[in-house]
Amino acid sequence: MESFSVVHQSKRRLEGEAKVLGKTRYADDFRLHREVAALPLYPAHPRAVILGIDCKEAESEPGVLGIITAKDVPGSNSLFGRFPVLADGEVRYTGDAVAVLAAETEEIARRALGKIRVDYKILPGVYSLEDAQACEISPVHPDRPDNTMENTFYPQYAGDVEEGLKRADIVLESEYNTSFAVNGYLEPDCVVAGEDSITGGIVIYGCIQNVYSIRGSVCAALGWPANKVRVVQTAIGGSFGGKNETAMVLAARAAVLHRKIGRPVRMRMSRSDVFRAGVKRHPYRFRLTVGCSKDGRITAWKNQVDTIGGPYNNQAMFANWRLAVHSAGPYRTPNVRTEVQAYYSNTPYSGAYRGFSAPQNSFAVESCIDELADAARMDPAEFRRINFVRPGDVITSGQAVGPGEMVLPLEAMLDDVLERGQYVRKKAEFEDFNARKGRYRRGLGLAAGYRGCGLGGEGFDVAGARMILEKDGSILVHSDMVDMGQGLRTSHAQVAAEALGVGLERIRMAETDTSCVPDAGPTVASRGLSAGGMAILMASEDLKRQLLEGLENHWKIPGGTAVLNGEVFRSADGSLSMGFDEAVSLLTNSKGLGFSGRGWFNPGTVHIDPKTGQGNCYPAYLSALSLTELEVDTFTGSITVSKVTLAYELGRAVNPDIVRGQLIGGYVQGLGYALSEDLRTSEGLVKNTSFGSYLMPSVSDVPEFDLRIFEEDFSTGPYGAKGIGEVGVELAAPGVGNALFHAAGIRMRRLPFSKDLVATRMLLMEKEGADELL
């Protein structure tokens, strides 16, 4: 392994002190001069025709400054994915806005909002996957009569699945369902639109995950070019994929309203509105027919996957592509037939939430693998071991496993996890314990997975960075990738310092601003470091080369011979040397030179056949493995996850503490998805609209973790980093489900695992005469 001086070390977060002092300014923590509050009028019905809107009474309220409806949108009222800025003619879900009203204070705005009269003709809505597929209700969009979303059908075909099923000794059919889930970032969405005091254009401030796409949307809504709109990201209080479409429509509404009334407009969402209007994780349904031989070798994997995505589609095309590629797991499965399809619905929209489609897919695949192991009467660990792909194999999309991007050391990781988790001993102990048929049962559950890094076939995985050297030796770095709390700025700064050969304290990471770095796409798909860090690395090398050239000219030594290490420049023979500050001062003050570095990373395109889902789909893959230990109270269905042993292969941990924080934090989100986060909708309405009914894990729900990171010297990202923002969330649900089966003999095929179902099923299973009371 190479030796490093700044990366591969747990440096403290650059912004940690500001955050712990409460000094960090999030989107709602500053005020613009003469700003006003704006609130949207959400529809009273999830699906209805708007017959008329009467704003007169509301407009005449003292303190009301203006109201906009669809007719006020000067540019396009249809943003990316068909999201309207304001509902035009028809409302299609509870988060559409019929009007937006601005007033001197939020209190006045709220009062006045109630005075806007809207006439609706209520329409029957498409409220479930079954509704969408049945086509008995008028389609969500007339141009999609079967409700299918455009560009969301993705297959993966390999071998001949019917032949594979024929050859199987054991065939299993199983259906798994997942629910809507919310990102649950603690900072509610907030955007401010004001005048750019220099250009007269617009500047948007907000907690926005993808500043460039939001700039594009604001431009589209106003009919303006990009040079008149600037988007500045404030500190973000969590996003996990969520501050995208909602932020997009907020920004467009605020911009249109700002242009109409001439004062800065703040749009701040309440928590309940975030629940009603904000993004949800896709609720996929998996129908699996799988087969294996008597000795446990998988012969066929047939997987029909469907989901609803709400009335607009920003993300299903990407989520479904990712799902199709990973739909058979990291196993040697010669015959695969997966088809993934998304449908329009009049429900909240589905979009990006950490993991994208992977947490759902991992739940289905890894539960099914355990069911197959059970059917084959094999230990789930051994079943996985004989089926894992290994060097020389191809994964189900045809990419070859080998050193570099496709290391997949799953077998080694399995051995490690079984050993650290004391699998054999505990399994025997737990089974003895459970044989006593007491109130509590204990179980162990495995889950494994792999994850394509970056966008892969979802889009160009490009990234940009720029850096400026100040005369005092400070270095200002601009990246197009945003820090939402994951620690990206710190990791980026470490990469910059390492690549330049200087200390971390010289680096200052700038705020994200569309006017500083070209648009290189969104900070998604765990690519902030893997792609964004490459751009930083390239910019650092660019800057360093300029500095070395300057000094080589000064020393009159041949080009390409000087080096910079540990803040000291040296000639090749070591006879000449100069400290960093001195050299920078010499080159800038005495010679009048200026230095800035530029990096643009473009890994090229991936190759995939859209008709079969075969090809090199992602530039690199991570591997993940977990062993979950839990105790279930069979009386109450209460599940206590006590310990989780984790292993991840992730290339290189640029900052091990930050990596651990991402993996553990992700896992705990996954535990919420498995156990307590149950977003319910009824007829298109969200039933739980607060953190009091949508229960995210609190500190007492957290188990003990034993995490080991596997590193590899060779990979595509900066210093070998692969990108770990999402993978942590994937294994929790299947791990808990499998452990629950081991503990109590109940297979739960729907998320989340509700206590009441566990308790009532246990009672029916075990107690004779339970109907005495039931």
Partner 1 sequence: MTEKIPVRLKVNGRYYDAAISADASLSRVLRDELGLMGTKEGCGTGYCGSCTVLIDGSAMKSCLVPAVTVGDREVVTIEGMSSPEHPLHPVQQAFVDAGAIQCGYCTPGFVMSVYALLRMNPKPTDEEIKRGLSGNICRCTGYETILSAVRLASERLSSVRE
Partner 2 sequence: MNYCKARSLSDFFQKASEAKGLIRPLAGGADIMYRLKKRYLLSDKLTLIDINGLDELKGIAERGNELEIGSAATLSALEEFLKDRDEYSLLRTALRETACPQIRSQGTLGGHVAGCLPNSHLFPVLMLHGAEAEILESAEEKSIPVEDLFRGPYHNRLKSGELVMSLTIPRKDFQWEYYWGEGSRKQFSLPPFVLAMAIDGEGNRFIAGGGPNVLPTHFRVLESAPSRFGGSRTTLLNLVKEEVSAQEKRKNRLTDYQKTLLFRFTCEMAEMEARL
Count of chain residues binding partner 1 (CB under 8 A) = 55
When asked if residue 735 is in the footprint of partner 1 (CB under 8 A), the reply is no
> Which listed option, partner 2, partner 1, none, makes contact with residue 591 (CB within 5 to 8 Å by class)?
none
The smaller minimum CB distance to partner 2, of residues 137 and 763, is found at 763
Residues making up the chain, counted from first to last: 774
The smaller minimum CB distance to partner 2, of residues 647 and 762, is found at 762
The smaller minimum CB distance to partner 1, of residues 542 and 629, is found at 629
Span of 279-287, 341-349, 436-444, 659-667 interacting with partner 1 by CB under 8 A:
659-667
Question: Considering just the CA atoms, what is the radius of gyration of the chain in Å?
Answer: 28
CB 451 within 8 A of CB 624: yes
Q: Which pairs with CB-CB distance under 8 Å and at least 24 residues apart come from 638-641?
A: 638/755, 639/675, 639/736, 639/740, 639/753, 639/755, 639/758, 641/671, 641/675, 641/701, 641/703, 641/736, 641/739
- Restricting to residues 14-73, name those near partner 1 by CB under 8 A: 15-26, 28-30
When asked if residue 505 is in the footprint of partner 1 (CB under 8 A), the reply is no
Pattern 463-492, partner 1, x by CB under 8 A:
---------------------xxxx-----
Q: Pick the binder of partner 2 from 675, 729, 732, 743 (CB under 8 A).
A: 675
Got the DSSP string for 55-114?
-HHHHTSTTEEEEE-GGG--S-SB-GGG-BSS--SEE-STT--SEEEEESSHHHHHHHHT
When asked if residue 438 is in the footprint of partner 2 (CB under 8 A), the reply is no
* Residue 47 burial class via C-beta count within 10 angstroms: exposed 0-12, middle 13-18, buried 19 and up: buried
Q: 56, 37, 44: which is closest to 87 by C-alpha?
A: 44
Least CB distance from residue 690 to partner 2, whole Å?
A: 8
Least CB distance from residue 281 to partner 1, whole Å?
A: 14
> Which listed option, partner 1, partner 2, none, makes contact with residue 772 (CB within 5 to 8 Å by class)?
partner 2
Question: What is the b/e burial string over 108-132, where b = at least 16 CB atoms within 10 angstroms of the residue's CB?
Answer: bbeebbebbebebeebebbbbbebb
> Which listed option, partner 2, partner 1, none, makes contact with residue 184 (CB within 5 to 8 Å by class)?
partner 1
CA 101 to chain centre: 32
Least CB distance from residue 272 to partner 1, whole Å?
A: 8
Q: How far apart are CA 205 and CA 40, in angstroms?
A: 18
CB 399 within 8 A of CB 616: yes
Neighbouring-strand partners of residue 569:
564, 578
Least CB distance from residue 674 to partner 2, whole Å?
A: 11
Pattern 613-652, partner 1, x by CB under 8 A:
----------------------------------------
When asked if residue 668 is in the footprint of partner 1 (CB under 8 A), the reply is yes
When asked if residue 237 is in the footprint of partner 1 (CB under 8 A), the reply is yes
Pattern 261-280, partner 1, x by CB under 8 A:
---------xx---------
> Which listed option, partner 1, partner 2, none, makes contact with residue 241 (CB within 5 to 8 Å by class)?
none
Least CB distance from residue 439 to partner 2, whole Å?
A: 8
> Which listed option, partner 1, partner 2, none, makes contact with residue 433 (CB within 5 to 8 Å by class)?
none
When asked if residue 687 is in the footprint of partner 1 (CB under 8 A), the reply is no
Span of 182-190, 328-336, 459-467, 764-772 interacting with partner 2 by CB under 8 A:
764-772
When asked if residue 754 is in the footprint of partner 2 (CB under 8 A), the reply is yes
The smaller minimum CB distance to partner 2, of residues 60 and 698, is found at 698
When asked if residue 635 is in the footprint of partner 2 (CB under 8 A), the reply is yes
Q: How far apart are CA 264 and CA 373, in angstroms?
A: 61
- What strand order describes the sheet that includes 170-177? 154-158, 336-343, 298-308, 285-292, 170-177
Q: How far apart are CA 649 and CA 623, in angstroms?
A: 5
The smaller minimum CB distance to partner 1, of residues 397 and 676, is found at 676
When asked if residue 637 is in the footprint of partner 2 (CB under 8 A), the reply is yes
CB 424 within 8 A of CB 418: yes
Least CB distance from residue 751 to partner 2, whole Å?
A: 13
CB 345 within 8 A of CB 128: yes
When asked if residue 185 is in the footprint of partner 1 (CB under 8 A), the reply is yes
Q: Specify the pairing of strand 350-351 against strand 440-452.
A: unpaired
Least CB distance from residue 224 to partner 2, whole Å?
A: 38
Q: 444, 378, 477, 505: which is closest to 642 by C-alpha?
A: 444
Q: How far apart are CA 571 and CA 387, in angstroms?
A: 55
When asked if residue 96 is in the footprint of partner 2 (CB under 8 A), the reply is no
The smaller minimum CB distance to partner 1, of residues 416 and 657, is found at 657
Number of other residues whose CB lies within 10 A of the CB of residue 65: 21
Encoding tokens for residue 678?
């149950």
Q: How far apart are CA 646 and CA 709, in angstroms?
A: 8
Least CB distance from residue 272 to partner 2, whole Å?
A: 9
When asked if residue 661 is in the footprint of partner 1 (CB under 8 A), the reply is yes
When asked if residue 74 is in the footprint of partner 1 (CB under 8 A), the reply is no
Q: Pick the binder of partner 2 from 143, 295, 756, 768 (CB under 8 A).
A: 756
Q: Under the phi-then-psi rule, with left for phi > 0, alpha for psi from -120 to 50, and beta for the rest, what region is 525?
A: left
When asked if residue 420 is in the footprint of partner 1 (CB under 8 A), the reply is no
Positive or negative CA dihedral for 427, 429, 432, 436? negative
CB 568 within 8 A of CB 579: yes
Q: How far apart are CA 498 and CA 545, in angstroms?
A: 14
Pattern 677-716, partner 2, x by CB under 8 A:
-x-------------x--xxxxxxx---------------
The smaller minimum CB distance to partner 1, of residues 44 and 186, is found at 186
- Restricting to residues 724-753, name those near partner 2 by CB under 8 A: 752
Q: How far apart are CA 35 and CA 88, in angstroms?
A: 27
When asked if residue 194 is in the footprint of partner 1 (CB under 8 A), the reply is no
Q: How far apart are CA 630 and CA 441, in angstroms?
A: 8
Number of other residues whose CB lies within 10 A of the CB of residue 378: 18
Helix or strand run (H / E) with residue 19: helix 16-20
Span of 119-127, 184-192, 357-365, 568-576 interacting with partner 1 by CB under 8 A:
184-192
Least CB distance from residue 355 to partner 1, whole Å?
A: 14
When asked if residue 632 is in the footprint of partner 2 (CB under 8 A), the reply is no
Distances (CA, A) of 405 to 52, 400, 401, 454, 604: 57, 10, 8, 12, 15
The smaller minimum CB distance to partner 2, of residues 107 and 162, is found at 107
Torsion angle of the four alpha carbons 120, 123, 129, 133, in this order, in degrees rounded to the nearest 10? -140
The smaller minimum CB distance to partner 2, of residues 230 and 281, is found at 281
Least CB distance from residue 151 to partner 1, whole Å?
A: 31
Positive or negative CA dihedral for 450, 374, 629, 749? positive
> Which listed option, partner 1, partner 2, none, makes contact with residue 240 (CB within 5 to 8 Å by class)?
partner 1
Neighbouring-strand partners of residue 342:
307
> Which listed option, partner 2, partner 1, none, makes contact with residue 17 (CB within 5 to 8 Å by class)?
partner 1
Got the DSSP string for 686-726?
ES--STTTS----GGG--EEEEEEE--S--SSGGGB---TT
Using CB under 8 A as the criterion, which residues of the chain lie in contact with partner 1 when the complex forms? 10, 12-13, 15-26, 28-30, 183-188, 235-238, 240, 270-271, 484-487, 657-658, 660-661, 664-669, 690-692, 696-700, 702, 705
Q: What does the binding site for partner 2 look like in residue numbers (CB under 8 A)?
A: 635-638, 640, 675-676, 678, 692, 695-701, 752, 754-756, 759-760, 763, 767, 770, 772-774
